[in-house]
Amino acid sequence: MPAPDRRAALRALLADREVDALLVTDLVNVRYLTGFTGSNAALLVHVDGDAASRFCTDGRYRAQAAVQVPDLERVEDRASALALAAAAAVDRLGFESDAVTVDAHAALDAAAQGVALVRTPGLVQGLRAVKDPDEVEALRVACAVADTALAGLLADGGLVPGRTERDVALDLETRMRRLGAQGPAFDTIVAAGPHSAVPHHRPTDAGLRAGDLVKMDFGALVDGYHSDITRTVVLGPAADWQRELHALVAAAQRAGRAALAPGADVVAVDAAARDVCVDAGRGEEFLHGLGHGIGLQIHEAPALARTGTGTLAAGMAVTVEPGVYLEGRGGVRIEDTLVVRDGEPELLTRTTRELLEV
């Protein structure tokens, strides 16, 4: 969907909120609506159309903005949001209250010179939740990069006793960069042995040991879009408890993937996977939500969780990542990135979910 079409979709929401314009200050949302990738910008989306809308950045990005935002009037000011608020010339100005601090709101209020500021959180995020074909293709590429990096790591014997968690994480990230990624989608998690029972363990200089569960949660950043995959392997032959734990999580993950469908309640999707673990007596060791939306940010709407709200729609990109964690022993998480479709969900991460003994 071209940026002008995205702004047109946003205007319909502004009319419903009875505001004359929206001041967009979240840089991710600015990128979504304009294509601009710099570090300082704001956007005024006016209900009367692009002719009345304005984009603002500072002089450092003059040439970049001319290329990336050729279809809007451009303003230069270091204080981008304040400059647009001061020149808005509207009665009711919406602002992203979920992205504006108390102090920033006070400054906006002063700059707007009597214009009524209206809280309008989450409007652009709601549009971003459903991906267009170009966004899905970027996600496909990002997922393929992560899959290929892991395949190379395994083929080259990158998981061996004595190698540190930190070494493995750096290896994965380097492979993704060499495959064309801008970088990792987030801080890579490599967790071995008892560390695998910590959902968001940070890699250390601890060495991998024979018999360890090794959990790897990582992703690639490609054209601004993030992938996310987790696989848990065993160094050497698996013990019975490790096989049972992996099989349980794999069953929960299958149930979660099968529940993805347009119109499905996000809480019900979480429950479909969680109930598998509860029935096995492991519900208390499933410590987080089932998954999350993914796109220009690694975590975005919707949230597949007991605390989530809303329903799924075709075109939403989400993760499904159940995990069961036995404190002091080890844990298993299996995660894929998928796109909700009218039929079967589209699986973007392709690495096998079978237990690998390496």
DSSP secondary structure, 312-349, as one string? --TTBEEEE--EEEETTTEEEE-BEEEE--SSSPEE--
Strand order in the sheet with 189-192: 189-192, 213-218, 229-234
Report the pLDDT value the prediction gives residue 1, as an integer from 0 to 100.
74
Calpha distance 282→332 (Å, rounded):
12
Q: Report yes or no on whether pTM surpasses 0.85.
A: yes
Residue 180 gets the label, from left (phi > 0), alpha (psi -120 to 50) or beta, of left
Neighbours of 2 (CB within 10 A): 11
Q: Alpha-carbon torsion 295, 301, 305, 311, what sign?
A: negative
Report the pLDDT value the prediction gives residue 17, as an integer from 0 to 100.
93
Architecture of the domain delimited by 3-127:
3-Layer(aba) Sandwich (3.40)
> Backbone phi, then psi, for 181, in 5-degree steps?
-70, 150
- For the chain, what are the domain ranges? 3-127, 133-347
Query: How far, rounded to the nearest angstrom, does the alpha carbon of residue 301 sit from its chain's CA centroid?
Result: 8
Q: What is the CATH number of domain 133-347?
A: 3.90.230.10
Helix 240-258 and helix 266-279, axial crossing angle in degrees, nearest 10: 160
Q: Alpha-carbon torsion 72, 75, 81, 83, what sign?
A: negative
Report the pLDDT value the prediction gives residue 296, as an integer from 0 to 100.
98
**Could you read off the pLDDT tens digit of each residue along the chain, which spans 358 residues?**
799 999 999 999 998 999 999 999 999 999 999 999 999 999 999 999 999 999 999 999 999 999 999 999 999 999 999 999 999 999 999 999 999 999 999 999 999 998 999 999 999 999 999 999 999 999 999 999 999 999 999 999 999 999 999 999 999 999 999 999 999 999 999 999 999 999 999 999 999 999 999 999 999 999 999 999 999 999 999 999 999 999 999 999 999 999 999 999 999 999 999 999 999 999 999 999 999 999 999 999 999 999 999 999 999 999 999 999 999 999 999 999 999 999 999 999 999 999 999 9
> Backbone phi, then psi, for 62, in 5-degree steps?
-60, -50
